Structure 1
Amino acid sequence: HGKSTLTDSLVSKAGIIAGSKAGEARFTDTRKDEQERCITIKSTAISLYYELNTKGSGFLINLIDSPGHVDFSSEVTAALRVTDGALVVVDCVSGVCVQTETVLRQAISERIKPIVFMNKMDRALLELQLEQEDLYQTFQRIVESVNVIIATYSVEDGPMGNILIDPQTGTVGFGSGLHGWAFSLKQFAEMYAKKFNIQLKKLMKRLWGDNFYNAKTKKWSDKKENSNVRAFNLFVLDPIYKVFDAIMHSKTEQIEALKTKCNVKLKGDDKEKVEKQLLKAFMRTWLPAGDTLLQMITIHLPSPVTAQKYRCELLYEGPHDDAIAVAIKNCDSEGPLMMYVSKMVPTSDKGRFYAFGRVFAGTVATGQKVRIMGPNFVFGQKKDLAIKPIQRTILMMGRYTEAIEDVPCGNIAGLVGVDNFLVKTGTLTTSDQAHNMKQMKFSVSPVVRVAVEAKNPSDLPKLVEGLKRLAKSDPMVLCMIEESGEHIIAGAGELHLEICLKDLEEDHAQIPIRKSDPVVSYRESVIEESDRMCLSKSPNKHNRLFMRAAPLPEELPEKIDEGKEIFPRQDAKLRGRYLADHHGFDVNEARKIWCFGPEGTGPNLLIDCTKAVQYLNEIKDSVVAGFQWASKEGVLCEENMRGIRFNIYDVTLHADAIHRGGGQIIPTARRCLYACQLTAKPRLFEPMYLVQIQCPESAVGGIYGVLNKRRGQVNETTNNPGTPIFNVNAFLPVNESFGFTADLRSNTGGQAFPQC
């Protein structure tokens, strides 16, 4: 959609790259393969400082350019955690896609305020040659569909207030990143305000929606009549259309007239240019994209001081009234340090990483001693905790970094010297009273896995070392060793894995690698309650467990995955109330949930439904351990379970503690859980992609053919109004998706573009 291209104009405004290069340099695509493939793979951060006027009031904007491809949505999540506002780029030719919706949903659930930019207007004018009214309708449709998404996922009277976008208030920008020009209604309202002698806000309201102006009688009306024209078309689009028309048809007299009218002074060699090049130079001078975006960002996106007030409760795991929470809410640079590291950025020095994150409270400085708390840290214990000094703090500037003495709260920074103590994410603090910041939840899960081995067996240690580094460098990749001794890498999709393996081969391990075909992981579940009570005796025949399994209600597994309303470290009474109100649980049972699994956070529940059983609490730990083991490796094919509740109905135990130890109970519990699953009609779930394919009408048949061959199901086929393009939405099993793109292109003559 042109996110990196658009970023360029902001970077050039800050004086880092030349204005004429903006739009082609893609400054934030730092890696070689990013430049070659023309896609962003890793999110890149830049700190930009702007001075608005000479009085010395400047803005510091921390900008993160993130990828758009669904395989890298973990990078987007990592970027959202450390920012307060989002500039959502929508292609005005193809409209709102699946990915736009996913990103908006993530942003709103992290409480991040969105503003929208309609990109690629040059295509709408030059390729599609749309009429003014059609273009207005296209914009109107995009604004509506974005607002529908926002309204679906946000609460109107929530802590952020009303976050719907509206061109009349200036939260929507229009323009072209490639040509480096952009405007919001505010710019045009400023041009006309003097002429009409109307206040800015009033005029901005009139420039959008059903407001029509009659040039002869100079009257406004809200109905369409013969002689009046929609204000947006007349005052905003018409001048732009005139410029495009005059320049593309080389009408020199008109061009000169327009130059004086728009007060555009072209410099040096820009005067010699013709057609497209002249158009770029003209539009860039008249409506510079940097200024517009900057204005939108500074006026409509919140500063850290306002944003942290309402984001604190989502970010901090501890009590919301302790000293640390207060410091985060007030964005207090004097308070105790709280910093969240959201990802690791590889340095030029092989095998070392910058820890990249955001300071939420206090100030982080070079040489400061901090507590480094990993994701498994539990308050009051020493697990996953290190106390080490920070070697250097640095500013991230795209491909360059600059050393800096200290970074106050609300800012984004990189740290040197803590990478050895964190795997991917973590919390840094100076206070020993601090709890962790909440873990990030990704919208996709790593389901595609490949086995890798070194071509030369003597390189094995290098491979192991390389896998460790790979696990650090990507927020979502999983590296593990199977029981058979194979090394497994799991990623979100084909493209994601391809990039990871390439990195492993070239950067992290630097050895030739052999890889297996990709395999997909499944999930196990049940669809009915167990048809009988399952009993299992311990090896010494003194203890018995009675259990049943049943499926969880619809949508509950997704809620647990999201971790917003239901999560393991929650007050049992609150959780019981929520489950009883929303998912029809019995309140007493809902309060007696022993644990979630697998990994203590997964979407399966172990519930104690017993009445008056002796010694039950003494075997709780053993049963929970058995449950974690069973739910991680189900009975069907040793995959994770999903969406099952196991109810313990009765337990008979031996009176002597020695006869009911872990060795007796854990295997018994696991056997009993497996029996429950087998008697409750077990099922396998496979992961599916939601694919959106854009193509001309003639190619729709070819698409159906490819999808049917691969067990796909088509949901809907819609036409983009005003264009000959059709959108096909379909579900495609991940297992069948390998080589899907190539197959699709060969069957449709390269006319179809899939997006997962």
Structure 2
Amino acid sequence: MRTISTIAATNTTTATIAAVRNLGILAHVDAGKTTVTERILYLTGTTHKRGEVHDGTTVTDFDPQERDRGITIFAAAVSCAWDGHRINLIDTPGHVDFADEVERSLRVLDGAVAVFDAVAGVEPQSESVWRQAERHGVPRIAFVNKLDRAGADLDTALASIRERLHPLPLAVQLPIGAEDAFTGVVDLLHLRALTWPDGQADMRQGPVPAHLADEATARRRALEENVAELHPGALEEFCSRGTLSAATLAAALRDLTRTGEAVVVLCGSAYRNRGIEPLLDAVAAYLPSPLDVPPVRGARTTTDTTEEQRAPDPQQPFTALAFKVNAAPTGRLTYLRIYAGTLHRGDTVLDTTTGRTERVARILRVMADRHTETDHALAGDIVAVIGPKAARVGATLCTPTRPILLEAPVSAEPVVTVAVEARHTADTDKLATALARLTEEDPSLRLRTDPETGQRTLSGLGELHLEVAVEKIRRDNGIDAVAGRPQVALRERLVEGVSGFVYRHAKQDGGAGQFAHLVLDVQPIQPVQPDQSAHPTRHDTTEEDFVFTSTVTGGRVPREYVHAVEAGCRDALAEGPLTGHPVTGVAVTLTDGATHPKDSSELAFRTAARLALREALRTGRLHLLEPLAQVNATVPEDALGTVLGDLAARRGHVQATTTAGTGTGTAQVTALVPLVELFGYATRLRSRTQGRGTFTTRPAGYAPAPTA
């Protein structure tokens, strides 16, 4: 029987977890994510000076490259307190080359704040990170930033959210003033004005300005009607009373945020310190705590797929996921999201992924590049630990006697490759160690050594991604590393197959021999092309890259040999017959075969399948594919013709050009361009637009590469 003190302690712990908010800041490049984060840290008393991106004084953009480039590159975790809540916040990158950092962060978050530019609305990378959050089931609220800019308009931003992201945007604020005259917002739930006078840090509350009273009342009524249509409890009160109380409205907005049926929208100007306090209140009010999230699920071990689940309870067996590793020469930090149980300093934990046990020497509360030591951490916490030596990104750490294996974040496939070597021979071994450490920190980077030349190649998600990686090697390790010209990751796609391909593998060189007889049907998988009008030759790789089936009957090929045939086929697809690049879009059917009573084995059938599929692919017909990128450029209207001509010269296919309604004398260009043609494009665009042009890219599938 539990004592009163035990019950009280349990209730206190539950209340502590209920007050936690694990959230990420998501947005397109330059929408103001880092500035929002800096203002949150300042207002919560975590920092005593407002950091500025342009001054290189931000807390979360602490890496020298981030400060030099003025962009977020690495996801940074910070912790702060607001109104009795502890907020664990991760500032994520906005550039597409670092989308894997966003993916790993979203895997461990309970909620997110999506930041939008009040002029541009939903931008391409905004849409991408929104879809990533949607895929992980992470509830979001929106913050329309930069309302003090020329051309800023809340209603236009709301329309772009509705049209491009599709949830119903529920604006709970109305701006007071526009552009330079923006001074605050009307809180539609409580019908009050919140203002931030110039030169004063404190928020002031007051009555709604007379000239906005009618509009505020109308918008409050529209908000009530929209909420009542979506929420049964709110509908009941609305029908009985004809209106909704602020408490009912807030509760309904919380429920709709969690289910994703609608998104609460707030607004402000982070740079001018306007709108951050209500945003923090909304984080506490609408985003879920760890207790509101369903129990985490996983398999028992790598071999035992029996499902286990762990609730966010400190009394449950310890369960955590490693989502970030900082393998610095001075020490190895492993960042954990604790889903269940309690972790104490000195505990021994099991890495279910590798089967190794590790000792946790120290537990750290993280503040970007600074840390505060603590004795323990509870379910719902995000902390860093020192001690585990082999845990990689995606590893599950748990109580050794109660193993569980959580699903790891999936890394995107790299599309750009560079050769990396040390300028001085004496640094060769140091370079190898630095590259290994780098790929340990960032799983989206792939390291490979060419078996013929011995040259090391590094593959990543874009040109900037690799630039940052090589510069990190130079700065952190003092190595004069040299990178070759980037090369794109090509693919070979089967377009015409072969049926009834017969292959007989017989090898006898003393002792036990090898024998396998196979009959294969090798056919292409038709690519999915959802938008043929956008690019007539585009191949989207949303279908399965390889499908294997067996129609053999009568035991002519035993089951264990069938698995070996599938493995051999996968081996063959790693290097295609055209250029040695991976082959995609292949369906293989094993239709017949034969065995030898003594010489057949799994090895023989795997070898036979590899050789057979290679021969079959040479018999069929393949196309060489190159990766495409969707380019979204913002350029001056007077330079539009020059920019379009340059894109055409780069084999680009322009999808859309918009000049009307931007209000800034600029044009928006969207085009599909082969990725190989974009190397060095940033410099060319700046020179053709007198430094005023900017662009972003994102992956857009594959298309046939031109023949020589």
Q: State the TM bucket, normalised to the shorter chain.
A: 0.7 to 0.9
What's the secondary structure of 1:207's corresponding residue? helix
Aligned to 2:548: 606
Q: Which amino acid aligns with 2:646?
A: V
Q: 1:105, 1:149 within 8 Å by CA — same for their partners in 2?
A: no
With over 3 angstroms needed to count, the CA separation of the structure-2 counterparts of 1:415 and 1:434, relative to structure 1, is same
Q: 1:717, 1:729 within 8 Å by CA — same for their partners in 2?
A: yes
1:505-553, Cα deviation, whole Å (9 max, x unpaired): 221x42212222111111121124x244211111249532111222224
1:415-470, Cα deviation, whole Å (9 max, x unpaired): 1011x21233311010544332112124x431111111222223222111111111
- 2:466 corresponds, among 470, 480, 497, to 497
What's the secondary structure of 2:143's corresponding residue? strand
Q: CA deviation at 1:627?
A: 1.6
Q: 2:119, 2:157 within 8 Å by CA — same for their partners in 1?
A: no
- 1:513 corresponds, among 481, 500, 512, to 481
Q: CA deviation at 1:208?
A: 6.3
Q: Which amino acid aligns with 2:337?
A: R
Aligned to 1:428: 397
Q: CA deviation at 1:280?
A: 10
- 1:7 corresponds, among 27, 33, 37, to 37
What's the secondary structure of 1:121's corresponding residue? coil
Aligned to 1:413: 383
Q: 1:446, 1:478 within 8 Å by CA — same for their partners in 2?
A: yes
Structure 1 residue 67 corresponds to structure 2 residue 93: yes
What's the secondary structure of 1:543's corresponding residue? strand
1:203-250, Cα deviation, whole Å (9 max, x unpaired): 977336989xxxxxxxxxxxxxxxxxxxxxxxxxxxxxxxxxxxxxxx
What's the secondary structure of 1:539's corresponding residue? strand
Q: CA deviation at 1:148?
A: 3.8
Q: CA deviation at 1:93?
A: 1.5
- 2:294 corresponds, among 303, 308, 312, to 308
Structure 1 residue 145 corresponds to structure 2 residue 85: no
Q: Which amino acid aligns with 1:524?
A: E
Matched residue count? 591
Q: 2:557, 2:594 within 8 Å by CA — same for their partners in 1?
A: no
Deviates more, 1:471-480 or 1:675-684: 675-684
With over 3 angstroms needed to count, the CA separation of the structure-2 counterparts of 1:675 and 1:182, relative to structure 1, is farther
Q: Distance in 2 between matches of 1:523 and 1:282?
A: 45
Q: CA deviation at 1:298?
A: 0.9
With over 3 angstroms needed to count, the CA separation of the structure-2 counterparts of 1:625 and 1:698, relative to structure 1, is same
Aligned to 1:552: 525
Q: 1:466, 1:504 within 8 Å by CA — same for their partners in 2?
A: yes
Q: Which amino acid aligns with 1:15?
A: G
With over 3 angstroms needed to count, the CA separation of the structure-2 counterparts of 1:92 and 1:174, relative to structure 1, is farther
Q: CA deviation at 1:695?
A: 1.7
With over 3 angstroms needed to count, the CA separation of the structure-2 counterparts of 1:341 and 1:663, relative to structure 1, is closer
Aligned to 2:652: 712
With over 3 angstroms needed to count, the CA separation of the structure-2 counterparts of 1:503 and 1:281, relative to structure 1, is closer
Q: Distance in 2 between matches of 1:722 and 1:451?
A: 42
Which ranges of structure 1 fall in alignment gaps of 5 or more residues?
53-57, 129-134, 152-162, 212-278, 375-383, 558-581, 584-601
The 5-angstrom pairing of residues 653-672 of structure 1 reads 653-654=595-596, 656=597, 658-672=598-612
Q: CA deviation at 1:194?
A: 9.1
Aligned to 1:487: 456
What's the secondary structure of 2:457's corresponding residue? strand
- 1:352 corresponds, among 315, 319, 331, to 331
Q: CA deviation at 1:195?
A: 6.0
Structure 1 residue 88 corresponds to structure 2 residue 114: yes
Structure 1 residue 452 corresponds to structure 2 residue 456: no
The 5-angstrom pairing of residues 385-424 of structure 1 reads 385-418=355-388, 420-424=389-393
Aligned to 2:251: none
Deviates more, 1:632-641 or 1:112-121: 632-641
Q: Distance in 1 between matches of 2:568 and 2:112?
A: 44
- 1:166 corresponds, among 161, 165, 170, to 170
With over 3 angstroms needed to count, the CA separation of the structure-2 counterparts of 1:363 and 1:754, relative to structure 1, is same
Q: Distance in 1 between matches of 2:101 and 2:176?
A: 26
Q: Which amino acid aligns with 2:161?
A: V
Q: CA deviation at 1:748?
A: 2.7
What's the secondary structure of 1:687's corresponding residue? strand
Q: 1:316, 1:437 within 8 Å by CA — same for their partners in 2?
A: no
More helix by share: 1
1:352-377, Cα deviation, whole Å (9 max, x unpaired): 32101200111122111100133xxx
Aligned to 1:743: 684
Structure 1 residue 295 corresponds to structure 2 residue 310: no
Aligned to 1:190: 192
Q: Distance in 1 between matches of 2:607 and 2:180?
A: 63
1:561-619, Cα deviation, whole Å (9 max, x unpaired): xxxxxxxxxxxxxxxxxxxxx99xxxxxxxxxxxxxxxxxx831221122334242142
Structure 1 residue 105 corresponds to structure 2 residue 120: no
Structure 1 residue 728 corresponds to structure 2 residue 669: yes
Q: Distance in 1 between matches of 2:450 and 2:593?
A: 35
Q: Distance in 2 between matches of 1:149 and 1:312?
A: 32
Q: Distance in 2 between matches of 1:482 and 1:749?
A: 42
Q: Distance in 1 between matches of 2:190 and 2:58?
A: 28
With over 3 angstroms needed to count, the CA separation of the structure-2 counterparts of 1:651 and 1:115, relative to structure 1, is same
1:112-171, Cα deviation, whole Å (9 max, x unpaired): 0111111111213xxx4xxxxxx5xx42232233234444xxxxxxxxxxx643104x6x
- 2:501 corresponds, among 528, 531, 534, to 534
Q: 2:516, 2:593 within 8 Å by CA — same for their partners in 1?
A: yes
Q: 1:613, 1:650 within 8 Å by CA — same for their partners in 2?
A: no
Aligned to 2:70: 38
With over 3 angstroms needed to count, the CA separation of the structure-2 counterparts of 1:701 and 1:203, relative to structure 1, is closer
Q: Which amino acid aligns with 1:345?
A: N
With over 3 angstroms needed to count, the CA separation of the structure-2 counterparts of 1:429 and 1:390, relative to structure 1, is same
Q: Distance in 1 between matches of 2:36 and 2:171?
A: 19
Structure 1 residue 207 corresponds to structure 2 residue 219: yes
Which ranges of structure 2 fall in alignment gaps of 5 or more residues?
1-30, 195-204, 224-267, 508-513, 531-541, 698-708
Structure 1 residue 363 corresponds to structure 2 residue 363: no
Aligned to 2:319: 338
Q: Distance in 2 between matches of 1:538 and 1:720?
A: 67
Aligned to 1:594: none
1:598-645, Cα deviation, whole Å (9 max, x unpaired): xxxx83122112233424214234313312211212222222222211
The 5-angstrom pairing of residues 151-300 of structure 1 reads 151=166, 164-168=168-172, 183=185, 185-186=187-188, 189-191=191-193, 206-207=218-219, 284=273, 288-300=274-286
Q: Distance in 2 between matches of 1:743 and 1:150?
A: 32
Q: 1:718, 1:726 within 8 Å by CA — same for their partners in 2?
A: yes
Q: Distance in 1 between matches of 2:300 and 2:181?
A: 39
Q: CA deviation at 1:186?
A: 4.1
| C-alpha RMSD of matched pairs (Å) | 3.7
Q: CA deviation at 1:701?
A: 1.0
Aligned to 1:18: 48
With over 3 angstroms needed to count, the CA separation of the structure-2 counterparts of 1:321 and 1:550, relative to structure 1, is closer
Q: Distance in 2 between matches of 1:652 and 1:196?
A: 85
Aligned to 1:694: 634
Q: Distance in 2 between matches of 1:352 and 1:179?
A: 50
What's the secondary structure of 2:657's corresponding residue? strand
What's the secondary structure of 2:191's corresponding residue? helix
Aligned to 2:559: 617
TM-score, structure 2 length as denominator?
Answer: 0.76
With over 3 angstroms needed to count, the CA separation of the structure-2 counterparts of 1:410 and 1:610, relative to structure 1, is same
Q: CA deviation at 1:694?
A: 1.0
